[in-house]
Structure 1
């Protein structure tokens, strides 16, 4: 599988470089304003393989009570959203790895739960922007191997890892990131026995399978041409990003959690890697991270691969000790 991904990446890279020009994209994106952009080198954007909406985002997801859900192994990862006054919700990566975006509404907050497998970036955004509610889809494009989302209202392109518009009318606009975190299904339902979990979507997908076998031990990320991280850190090592700081997960795990920069970052074993074994539940244990401030409030963060942090925060701070 690793060799196949390397060959596929080489083919797609050559194809992407040949069409790294907005003129080649206008037939698919006739309503996108390519004159407004933060991109200075269009070759950074390339096809990830599927076309626009070839990876279908989920709208209006269905939910089940945690106690009624069957078919998910206890170690499988979920993205947890807990909003005060609302029933906690879990979004299993067994679904997000195939759909990447879930447009949902919790209480009065319209949100987008997003997951880019190639960066292991799982971020939840508020969909309210400039007085309107946006809904998001998967463009089929990648930049620095990270998903480029688009909004259906203005057809603008958004960089998922940073939550910012990069092409179109919404260029430069930032989405508000909401606190959410990855943990195991067992950890979620133990804390929230009456919580809600996203039901299986009505698509023909191999839910529970990982189509990127061995990805998080690969030597080189898929369709990534940038620099490797500094300090000898593996490109696919996990780091905990808060703002422009990154803590290597290996450090947090070895120290049993860290308290610094006004944050308490905890680690608990029990969560399987979604990007390791062909069956997600059989992935190696990478543990679960939660980030809180000095008052014990959850803090928006991301557990992403090191190469993606370096690509999008080249001047970022590495919290090594």
Structure 2
């Protein structure tokens, strides 16, 4: 697991990984001549090799009412797309797989979760006339997962949904509206909904290998600047475009309408990065983001350090 690879990864972060040539033996089919990475010191090994964290494809589903293993406050990523049956992707599985390649109502999607950034994003997998299938590279940049597509071996920054190395350099994935909420919330709203079934891999599903991570003061494998305004690095923020709303403000006010959108917060969702058992994690609440017509908007619920790393000129929505 990544925490046990810290010394190894930090050593290479300051030495061999300062140029793309270091990775070419592992990635012979990736075009490293095309890259937007300006500082290769930022790219390091997270510990596992390519596909060492196995992404999933074409998962099985079951009716929400049949699932008895998931704790009521456990987080799931909810995808409600085009009037099709809502689907829940439990974080207890994504913690160990990080990417699920699926198809919802004919739309190929990648449901992703980077534990080190708390970044849960869903993307349309169609790019430049191709349907891509994503895997986990085992590499991190600013502590965020670098994905790769199996078709061109290009590297993609998960937090941004953008190709940063390879033939598809500069291409951007279209983000699909999805959100994290508790399993109880999903079931109450979608009694006939579907939930991803437990994968057939030998993993301790329901356990959190990053115990107390979101209570720490420093991000794991991150050497960049801390966020401004004395915001803790591991404070969750709601990112919409290049704006970020700190979670403590949202939890205090519970509803915020500004910049043309409405954000709401309600208690009842466990942190996936707190207790050893995800179901016993402290309550961090659930967030929804909607436009003026009440439609769900694509957003992210990431740590403040990651927002600052990838959007250094971004706007912090601090209120009065």
For 1:10 and 1:28, the matched residues in 2 are separated by 21
Partner of 1:99: 97
- Correspondence list, 1:198-209, <5 A: 198-209=196-207
Partner of 2:114: 116
Q: TM-score, normalised by structure 1?
A: 0.97
For 2:213 and 2:252, the matched residues in 1 are separated by 23
- String of CA shifts for 1:121-173, please: whole Å, max 9, x gaps: 00000000011100000000000000000000000000000000000001111
Partner of 1:186: 184
Partner of 1:72: 70
1:252 paired to 2:250: yes
- String of CA shifts for 1:43-86, please: whole Å, max 9, x gaps: 11000000000000000100000001111000000000001220
Partner of 1:156: 154
For 2:127 and 2:228, the matched residues in 1 are separated by 35
Q: TM-score, normalised by structure 2?
A: 0.98
**Aligned residue pair count:** 318
Partner of 1:127: 125
Partner of 1:18: 15
For the Cα contact (< 8 Å) 1:17–1:46, is it kept in 2?
Answer: no
Q: Give the gaps of 5 or more residues in structure 1.
A: none
1:10, distance to aligned residue in structure 2 (A):
3.7
Partner of 1:225: 223
Specify which of 280, 284, 288 is matched with residue 286 of structure 2: 288
CA RMSD of superposed structures (Å):
1.2
* Secondary structure of the corresponding residue to residue 51 of structure 1: coil
1:8, distance to aligned residue in structure 2 (A):
4.4
For the Cα contact (< 8 Å) 1:229–1:306, is it kept in 2?
Answer: yes
Partner of 1:9: 6
Specify which of 263, 273, 276 is matched with residue 275 of structure 1: 273
1:30 paired to 2:42: no
**Greater shift in the superposed pair: 260-269 or 18-27:** 18-27
1:19, distance to aligned residue in structure 2 (A):
2.4
For the Cα contact (< 8 Å) 1:184–1:271, is it kept in 2?
Answer: yes
**Greater shift in the superposed pair: 22-31 or 233-242:** 22-31
For 2:244 and 2:83, the matched residues in 1 are separated by 31
For 2:96 and 2:118, the matched residues in 1 are separated by 13
Partner of 2:59: 61
* Secondary structure of the corresponding residue to residue 95 of structure 2: helix
* Secondary structure of the corresponding residue to residue 77 of structure 2: strand
For 1:260 and 1:68, the matched residues in 2 are separated by 40
For 1:220 and 1:8, the matched residues in 2 are separated by 16
* Secondary structure of the corresponding residue to residue 237 of structure 2: strand
